[in-house]
């Protein structure tokens, strides 16, 4: 005696959020049943294992049928097959596109190619995310990447409209797309302490300030590619470290402003030239794609690590960078104020975010 067929179809599609999550997390039907049983589901409505199994199977089938629609969320709203109230649709989409930070941290900045996809089982093993879930998340990244690649207009807005995601999730996807496009290095050991949210924040800063879109919002790929002209202009900042007078003048201005305001003053004074060289060198090298990729590792090596070894606090960093940026404006012979501001604005907020006490 065996159940040959067992279906349950509601006019309004019934979807249990808990089962949906288990499905998204890549649990098999049997594992999902075990999880639900462990979660005390048996006590509800006098259920037994068969009931749970039947329910889980039904829901899994429904989700599988829905998956095609979830991959182009706009269709979910005007498809006729499943009657799903709008707020449930939003939930389904949001959850489908949600990802595990540990997983995305692993693929961030990698090329979204078949090669990377092959490594997913390793990543899965490393992060404890099931392969099925890894694949879904990876395919989501790739799908979003492909769609927005060819679109004009602001990146976050495009993602939000095409995939009907919340603002927060759209921003995260923008970061992922941005990182994948520019292939930023995030996997080095020195960068391991940074979370996805740290990078996402930085990506937001870069997108808003350093891309073509920051100045002109009509071109293609405007939010994905860095503004070439700006990168070129950054070379001009070299004067801050190559001109000895300027460097000294800058240092004295900063030191005057900082004196007495922090315990780390001595270290700041001692390291000023090194740190300034580090930051300006990063700026001047950004015309090379290779150096763009190393942007974050450079920030860590050239600035964050020295500060950390001197035990600066976050407040110290903030104080230092504020004065460092502002003092450059007072330098008479320094003419590149606009570029400097555009550069340092991003650097400042990225370092704040990346500097963990």
Partner 1 sequence: MPGKLKAKIVAGRHLPVMDRASDLTDAFVEVKFGNTTFKTDVFPKSLNPQWNSEWFKFEVDDEDLQDEPLQITVLDHDTYSANDAIGKVYIDIDPLLCTEAASIISGWFPIYDTIHGIRGEINVLVKVELFNDLNRFRQSSCGVKFFCTTSIPRGYRAAMVHGFVEELVVNEDPEYQWIDRIRTPRASNEARQRLISLMSGELQRKIGLKVLEMGGNAVVGYLQCFDLEGESGLVVRAIGTACTLEKQSSGSLVNTHTHPNTAPASNACNSPSKDGKEPVFGEDLPSSSGPPTPFRNLPTSSSSPPPFSPFKPCSRQSSSSDTDLSLTPKTGMGSGGSAGKEAGPLKTLLRQQTQTALEQRGASSSGLLLNAREFPFFTLTSFPPGFLVHVGGVVSARSVKLLDRIHNPALGNTRSYKLLDWNSVTADEPETRDAWWEEIRQEIKSHAKALGCHAVVGYSENTSICEEVCILSASGTAAILNPRYMREGCLDIGSTDQRFDDPSPPSCGFCHIPYDELNMPFPAQLTYCYNCRRQKVPDVLFTTIDLPAEAAVTGKGCLIQARLCRLKKKAQGEVNATAISNLLPFMEYELHTQLMNKLKLRSMNALFGLHIQISVGENMLLGLASATGVYLTALPAPGGIQIAGKTSGDLNNEQHIQAIQKRINDTIAKNKELYQINPPELTEEGVGSPIPEPRHRSRLFRSHSESSDEVSELDLSHGKKDAFVLEIDDTDAVEDIHSLLIDASPPTGFYTCNTETMPGIYNWTTAVQMFTSVRVLRLSNANLSNQSLNKIFTDLCENLLKSFYFKLRSNIPCCLCHLNFTVAVPEEELIQVSVTAVAMTFDKDQTQERFITKGGIETEEQLQFPLELCADSSSTNAQPSSKFSGVPENTIVSPRVSSLEHCSPLTEGRPRSLRSSRSFGGSSVTMVKMTPLSFLPGTRIIKYLGIINMFFIRETTSLREEGGVSGFLHSFIAEVFAMVRAHVAALGGNAVVSYSMKDCVLMENPNKNQAQCLINVSGDAVICVRETDQEPMTSMTNIGQTCAADGAT
- Interface positions with partner 1 (CB under 8 A): 1-14, 44-48, 50-52, 54-55, 57-58, 61-62, 64-65, 75, 77-83, 85-86, 89, 164
Q: Which is nearer to partner 1, 57 or 219 (CB)?
A: 57
Structure tokens, 118? 């092959």
Per-residue burial over 246-255, b if 16 or more Cβ lie within 10 Å, else e, is bbebbbebbe
Indicate the length of the chain as a whole number: 357
Residue 94: Cβ within 10 Å count = 16
Residue 27 to residue 333: CA distance in whole angstroms: 64
**Which residue, 4 or 150, has its beta carbon nearer to partner 1?**
4
Structure-token pair, residue 265:
């003053």
Q: Which is nearer to partner 1, 78 or 333 (CB)?
A: 78
Instruction: Give the residue with the Cβ less far from partner 1, 90 or 116.
Output: 90
Q: How far apart are the first and last CA of the chain?
A: 64
State the nearest-atom distance from the C-beta of 306 to partner 1, in Å.
51
> Which residue, 60 or 272, is less far from partner 1 as judged by CB?
60
Q: Considering beta carbons, is residue 62 or 140 the nearer one to partner 1? A: 62
Q: Nearest distance from residue 339's CB to partner 1, in Å? A: 42
In sequence order, what are the residues at sequence separation of 6 or more whose Cβ sits closer than 8 angstroms to the Cβ of residue 79?
Answer: 69
* Minimum CB distance to partner 1, residue 54 (Å): 5
For residues 18 and 221, which CB has a smaller minimum distance to partner 1 in the complex? 18
Minimum Å gap between C-beta 57 and partner 1 is 7
DSSP string for 206-234? HHHHHBGGGT-SSSBTTTTSB-HHHHHHH
**Minimum distance from residue 89 beta carbon to partner 1 (Å):** 8
Quote the least distance from Cβ 258 to partner 1, whole Å.
53
**How is residue 177 written in tokens?**
């797309």
Question: CB under 8 Å to 279, separation ≥6 — which residues?
Answer: 302, 303, 347
User: Whole-angstrom Cα distance, residue 35 to residue 18?
Assistant: 10
- Closest distance between partner 1 and the C-beta of residue 51, in Å? 5
User: Could you tell me the smallest distance in angstroms from the CB atom of residue 20 to partner 1?
Assistant: 14
Strand partners, 226: 211
- 85 or 252, CB closer to partner 1? 85
Q: Decide whether 73 or 109 has the Cβ nearer to partner 1.
A: 73
Quick check: 223 and 211 in contact, CB under 8 A?
yes
Show the tokens assigned to 321: 């960078």
Name every residue whose Cβ is closer than 8 Å to that of residue 321 and which is 6 or more positions away in sequence.
Answer: 344, 347, 348, 351, 352
Q: Report how far apart, in Å, the C-alpha atoms of 9 and of each of 12, 61, 88, 92, 165 are.
A: 8, 11, 17, 18, 27
The SS3 assignment for 82 reads coil
């Amino acid at each position: 005696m065996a159940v040959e067929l067992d279906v349950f179809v509601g006019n309004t599609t019934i979807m249990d959020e808990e089962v949906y999550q288990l499905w998204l997390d890549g649990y098999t039907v049997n594992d999902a049943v075990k999880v639900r049983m462990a979660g005390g589901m048996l006590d509800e409505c006098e259920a037994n294992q068969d009931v749970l199994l039947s329910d889980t199977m039904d829901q899994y089938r429904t989700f599988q049928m829905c998956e095609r629609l979830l991959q182009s969320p706009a269709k979910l709203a005007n498809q006729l097959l499943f009657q799903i109230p709008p707020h449930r649709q939003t939930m389904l989409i949001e959850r489908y596109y949600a990802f595990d930070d540990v997983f995305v941290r692993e693929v961030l900045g990698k090329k979204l190619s078949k090669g990377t996809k092959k490594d997913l089982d390793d990543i899965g093993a490393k992060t404890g995310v099931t392969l099925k879930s890894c694949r879904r998340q990876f395919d989501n990244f790739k799908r979003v990447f492909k769609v927005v690649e060819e679109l004009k207009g602001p990146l976050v807005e495009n993602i939000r409209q095409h995939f009907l995601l919340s603002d927060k999730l759209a921003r995260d996807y923008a970061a992922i797309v941005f990182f994948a496009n520019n292939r930023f290095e995030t996997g080095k050991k020195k960068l391991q302490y940074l979370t996805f949210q740290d990078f996402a924040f930085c990506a937001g800063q870069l997108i808003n300030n350093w891309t073509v879109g920051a100045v002109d919002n009509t071109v293609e790929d405007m939010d994905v590619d860095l503004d070439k002209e700006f990168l070129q202009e950054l070379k001009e900042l070299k004067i801050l470290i190559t001109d000895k007078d300027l460097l000294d003048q800058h240092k004295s201005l900063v030191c005057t402003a900082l004196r007495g305001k922090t315990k780390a003053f001595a270290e700041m004074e001692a390291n000023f030239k090194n740190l300034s060289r580090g930051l300006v060198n990063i700026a001047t090298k950004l015309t090379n794609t290779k150096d763009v990729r190393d942007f974050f590792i450079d920030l860590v090596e050239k600035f964050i690590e020295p500060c950390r070894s001197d035990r600066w606090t976050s407040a110290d960093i903030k104080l230092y960078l504020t004065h460092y940026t502002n003092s450059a404006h007072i330098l008479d012979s320094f003419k590149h104020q606009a570029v400097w501001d555009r550069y340092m604005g991003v650097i400042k907020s990225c370092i704040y975010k990346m500097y963990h006490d």
